[in-house]
Chains A and B, each alone.
Chain A
Amino acid sequence: MTLTSEPSTSEPSTLSMQTGTPLLEARHLVQEFVVRDRGGVKGGVVHAVSDVSFEVRAGETLGVVGETGSGKSTVARSVLAAPKPKSGEVLFKGTDLVKLKRRDLLELRREMQMVYQDPYGSLDPKWQVADIIEEPLVAYKRGNSTERKRRVGEVMDLVGLDPSVFSSRKPRQLSGGQCQRVAIARALTLSPELIVCDEAVSSLDVLIQAQVLNLFEHLRQELQLSYLFIAHDLALVKQVSDRVAVMYLGQFAEVGPSEKIYLQPFHPYTAALLGSIPSPDPNAAKVSTRGTISGEPPSPINPPSGCRFRTRCPRAQDRCATEAPVLRELEPDHAVACHFPLAGESTPVTITTNGAPSA
């Protein structure tokens, strides 16, 4: 695999050595949006995603975790070229989506479907459940009416909705969990290979959330699906994913096997995230942000120079302000973008007590 490599970017191919062609590969994704001030004057550029590279292997779940404004949803949409990224490549089974004509793109999108956060908002309130689920088949002109109806029945069974009960219902007659099942059924009708889940369970109550998470798990095993699973909850993402990517302000801070991310985080931001999750275990360590993260996230319109986490990082030094850290593999399959990673430090690090260095 040859890449148009720039000095400041990592080689995504280094993360994919053990398998063949990945199902999905994103290379140097960049997505930016112009914000307009009063009168349509260009007010600035939101650097939503800045040079992100990753891959989803066949049958794998890649989790992307990040906080508000980290660009994780933009990554999800860029992957489906909706809208197309500003630059970079999105290879689905080797075909670059970004370069495809509209017609070919639509055809390819059949194999990658999306499930959104808001279960009510993503379903047409005036449609019946069966019609909602059938729509992709109609749009892609698959089968005749009888075949389509049969397929709708199949996927409804798959997601645990009894067709005889739910077919003629409308979204408002469903609970949040049931709506999300309809959205999942609709995503499954065209037998995709990849499902992109953008905060797909975040708005559900914990018991319903567990049901839907298990459903994703069953579907993965039954249909050999791959997921790009995006959410803000690290514990949740870790549980569903084989590998986890931690995003901060438009960039990947760390990518690695989910177990390693948890047991041995390299990036100070990952450690801060882990330390912020309150555990229901009475003997667990208390939540603490003291000494792991401070202040507020900076604006993606004007991200800090060098490492974007440095303004909140307790380990930041002068070098972090001048030189953007490159995502590099410290251990097989486990990469971090940090000059002074937490574990496996090859060079001794002196930690500055005073947070932000001068820019």
Chain B
Amino acid sequence: MGSTVSTEIATTTEDLARAGVATKVPLLEVRDLKVRFTQNGRTVRAVDGVNYSLQSGKTLAIIGESGSGKTVSSRAIMGLLPGTARISGSAKFEGVELLGMSDKELRTRRGPDFAMVFQDPARSLNPTMRIGIQITEAIRSHFDVSKAEAKKQAINLLQMVRLPSAETRFSEYPHQLSGGMRQRVMIAIALSCHPKLLIADEATTALDVTTQAQIMELLEDLQAELNMALILISHDMGLAASFTDEVVVMYAGRVVEQAPTRTLFSNVRMPYTKVLLDAIPRLENKSHTLLPVVQGRPPDLTALPPGCSFSPRCPYVQEDCRETEPPLVEHEPDHIWACFHPVNEGSPVTEGSLAK
């Protein structure tokens, strides 16, 4: 396997083997994933080389601002992008290539293999259908069960996602439910075919913080129970730090830093990740604290600057950053970043410091 892997990528199967994790075929292995769109004759580099592998039962966070490519990369894997998208690279689910798979085949895999929960539960549910029908429909399209059996399963699911008074709610419409309840219903639908992988795309962003915490705890429990893998797409660093095993940080379509969650948050190296972390209002901050900020905006994906895409905004920028694009290299064990002048230089692990 791994025939499409280009040589400059750090996390090849060999690297993983050295780390002792490749003895098991990963549930999902994404290699050099690229997505291009054409907009007014110009090429949009929406996703530019994403790599990760995910084992069953584990959680991966993909972190980034709007337009960083975190959603597009996940939709590409699930085959949910419009036909105009040009996708290259490889995404193997249990060793089977997903990219280029026919719509028909993908449809049979969405549900039992992988499912997705989106940000806006109000817009993802059909407002004219009772929620019960929307769940049983999902069940009956994948399993050959009677209506009564599907209803039984649906109510079980609603109970599993801890929807209060599930049996009554079964025959209610989406507008009769609160935002948190609707998101629970979405999760119930996503779980109806017992997916091996759940992709949660900003699934808790629109929810209140106590509800978010409840939903995340629920997902954790379900994950342990079903040995499900989870990809958490979010802009929330706190959420990533609290609920995941590995973090991928994206900026302007590229991965800029990637590491196991604890490693990353205790030893941030890429300046962008640091800037992002510093900009979060913290409970520990005193009143009227000024946040360290960077000016500017993410670059136009049709006209990326030469060199590092973050260089126009980077507080640590040097001359070489503007000329050459820093490669994404595994500088420390399991810790990958794309930067010539990483921060936290005095940190305990100093092997492989500056360029290369």
Binding site for B on A (CB under 8 A): 61, 67-68, 175, 177, 205-211, 213-214, 217, 220, 232-236, 238-242, 258-259, 262, 272-284, 286-290, 293, 295-297
Contact = CB atoms under 8 A, between A and B. Distances in A.
Given A238-B287, A276-B210, 14 more contacts: A61-B287, A205-B235, A214-B293, A217-B288, A235-B281, A235-B283, A277-B209, A278-B216, A278-B236, A280-B277, A282-B261, A282-B266, A288-B217, A296-B164
- Most A C-beta atoms less than 10 A away, residue of B179, B181, B240, B261: B179
Interface in B184-231: 208-214, 216-217
Contact of A232 (B208, B241, B280, B287): B208
Contacts, number: 141
Of A207, A233, A279, the most chain B CB neighbours within 10 A belong to A207
A186 B297 CA distance: 23
Interface string B162-180: 0010000000000000111
Contacts of A279: 238, 241-242, 282-283
B243 interface: yes
A275 B283 CA distance: 11
24 contacts: A67-B211, A68-B179, A206-B237, A207-B275, A207-B276, A207-B294, A214-B293, A217-B290, A234-B283, A235-B282, A239-B282, A239-B285, A278-B213, A278-B239, A280-B237, A280-B241, A280-B277, A281-B241, A281-B265, A282-B241, A284-B242, A287-B217, A287-B243, A296-B211
B4 interface: no
A286 B283 contact: no
B7 interface: no
Interface of B: 65-66, 164, 178-181, 208-214, 216-217, 235-243, 261-262, 265-266, 275-277, 279-283, 285-295, 297
A258 B286 CA distance: 8
Given A208-B297, A232-B208, A288-B217, A280 B238 contact: yes
The 5 closest A-B pairs by CB, nearest first: A278-B238, A276-B213, A67-B208, A210-B279, A278-B242
B213 A259 contact: no
B279 A206 contact: yes
B269 to A, nearest CB: 14
B287 A241 contact: yes
A226 B18 CA distance: 59
A278 B243 contact: yes
A236 B210 contact: no
Nearest to B236: A278
B293 A207 contact: yes
A234 B209 contact: yes
A297 B262 CA distance: 34
A296 B178 contact: yes
Contact of A262 (B235, B261, B276, B283): B283
B296 to A, nearest CB: 9
Contacts of A297: 178
A277 B238 contact: yes
A258 B282 CA distance: 12
A241 to B, nearest CB: 6
B275 to A, nearest CB: 7
Nearest to A294: B214
A286 B243 CA distance: 9
A209 B66 CA distance: 13
Contact of A207 (B65, B179, B239): B65
Contacts of B178: 68, 296-297
A296 B275 contact: no
